[in-house]
Structure 1
């Protein structure tokens, strides 16, 4: 999927000095009316949808604006955003993922016109509402279907995640991601990358690590404490005992629910959602327990790649996923180097911060 680097909008932004009886959101929509679709599908009810919460800084590239915030302060940041609100942001690391979600929704609506079992993207940001006009302009410019916003004016948006029935939260702030995980919500930290590989625009591809992502970190703890041989012994002895669930298990479950809707229409082989397990586990020595765990949960994974400690980069380069989740920064950095959009799941015993190649400069108080 190619990404639009962004061009200046032809529609002018609202005149902030004029007096209007309309809400500023309505002014923005009216001024952009010629370039926006005349009819959009109705968003699903939150309780029926698979809700993906994304921060503004992962959906769009806001690095320049972030520098203004860090170097000049909040007031200059807001002023700059207002002065440039008719200039759309360029795509960020989550952009292709969100576009793929919308492509799946299009096919689901064709097969099930009355169903509300769809992806619903919510923009979760602690930006000031003034910045919302530029975000709306950008969303309309890129023809994204995002109708739900949560702008908290400097406060953390984490408290709203459950209210939106969030199934997955993506942010550039690792502290916010940890807060979400502590609340039992699937979440991952996404980073700005210099290189992003082109991905499919017809099939959503999601790749998961196993331990401490789909599964708990039980086995990882054995390995860290006692070494590889004891790890193999432990997995062999417990191969018929399912692992506890990890933080992303629920998201895989949600993907599987939508996959079955396509299977029900005879589209198993050309389903627009494809999932991958990319794990450092060995197949013969420790793969049995992983596969039996998924089976015990009633979950399918389309492809399982057991790498026995080999680098994950070459496999990810072949898969070209829209998003890859791993709990170890070593694998996240390796994936990012070959252009895969890789997210860090800060869960379990293997924790670390980026060492190179990935921008992680923001603080918890910065606009997201």
Structure 2
């Protein structure tokens, strides 16, 4: 029987999100494909340093030995050619990561169908165009910022933090805030405080993580997965978040209702291995302290001031 990915938590990741390939990316931008390919071949046995998503991927893969059957799969999905992609797999082996699957697409114009073919639940990349396209086609995705210089992942735990509106929940309420102001937003949330919000792009990922937590609990085992919501909402708008989570039958471990205060210090105290938010004003300061990624609106465009990436789609950018 073929191996099924249907009941797994599947993370799709670009090689540049998993490893630090910023020098190689600049080489690609400045000197072109031939120079990039030559460099990758010449250095394919040299170790690569961890990238922004490395702590999260390493921690998630560490869950598999703790479970009765394998639940986490990571697939490298890259615009590299198979030839230049060899360096990523050499680095995977050097770091002892349990990753065996990859799609090296040789500069394919779109990665979406490959993400769907591997049943990817979350796609992490440094390429804003790929992330936007994934979101537009219903795949949870985030564009990662530069890794924090001094981050140390908590040992033996997985800590993931989410913004609420436009990430876990639909952008409906946030749209009211942006177009009509705080007073209209507060009135809308108070009137609908017991009505669950619609799912946002990361709702299914939250449900997958919650199912993992339940699996540990059902076995009476300590659960290493901790989930936090870090939202700009404050009381009384917090009530709708709680009622929505109840409706979804999800128990998050921690929730922070910031009321507009900066999120970065709370995220550092939580020790998030990844933080997902839809606004650069939150992601940029957070990314200095914890690994972070921005979640674009469906059909929208990532903010031009968002730090990280190249948009090229030709062969074979990482």
> 1:320, CA displacement in angstroms?
1.1
Which of 223, 227, 236 pairs up with 1:271?
223
Give me the whole-angstrom Cα distance separating, in 2, the residues matched to 1:175 and 1:137: 27
Structure ID, larger Rg: 1
In structure 2, the residue matched to 1:250 is: 204
In structure 2, the residue matched to 1:129 is: 82
- TM-score, normalization: structure 1? 0.82
Contact 1:126 1:154 in 2 (8 A): yes
Judge which range, 321-330 or 61-70, deviates more.
61-70
Give me the whole-angstrom Cα distance separating, in 2, the residues matched to 1:291 and 1:303: 11
> 1:313, CA displacement in angstroms?
0.9
> 1:45, CA displacement in angstroms?
2.8
Give me the whole-angstrom Cα distance separating, in 2, the residues matched to 1:350 and 1:362: 15
Q: Return closer, same or farther for 1:214/1:261 CA change in 2, 3 Å cut-off.
A: same
Q: Return closer, same or farther for 1:77/1:134 CA change in 2, 3 Å cut-off.
A: same
> 1:133, CA displacement in angstroms?
1.9
In structure 2, the residue matched to 1:300 is: 251
Higher relative contact order, structure no. (Cα contacts within 8 Å, ≥ 6 residues apart): 2
Give me the whole-angstrom Cα distance separating, in 2, the residues matched to 1:214 and 1:134: 35
Q: Return closer, same or farther for 1:90/1:243 CA change in 2, 3 Å cut-off.
A: same
Which of 279, 303, 306 pairs up with 1:353?
303
In structure 2, the residue matched to 1:100 is: 59
Contact 2:132 2:301 in 1 (8 A): no
Structure 2 residue runs of 5 or longer lacking an equivalent are: none
Q: Runs of 4+ in structure 1 displaced over 4 angstroms?
A: 348-352
In structure 2, the residue matched to 1:54 is: 13
Q: Return closer, same or farther for 1:301/1:350 CA change in 2, 3 Å cut-off.
A: farther
Establish whether residue 363 from structure 1 lines up as the match of residue 312 from structure 2.
yes
Q: Secondary structure at the match of 1:52?
A: strand
- TM-score, normalization: structure 2? 0.94
Give me the whole-angstrom Cα distance separating, in 2, the residues matched to 1:315 and 1:120: 29
Give me the whole-angstrom Cα distance separating, in 2, the residues matched to 1:148 and 1:316: 32
In structure 2, the residue matched to 1:223 is: 177
In structure 1, the residue matched to 2:264 is: 313
Structure 1 residue runs of 5 or longer lacking an equivalent are: 1-42
Aligned residues: 315
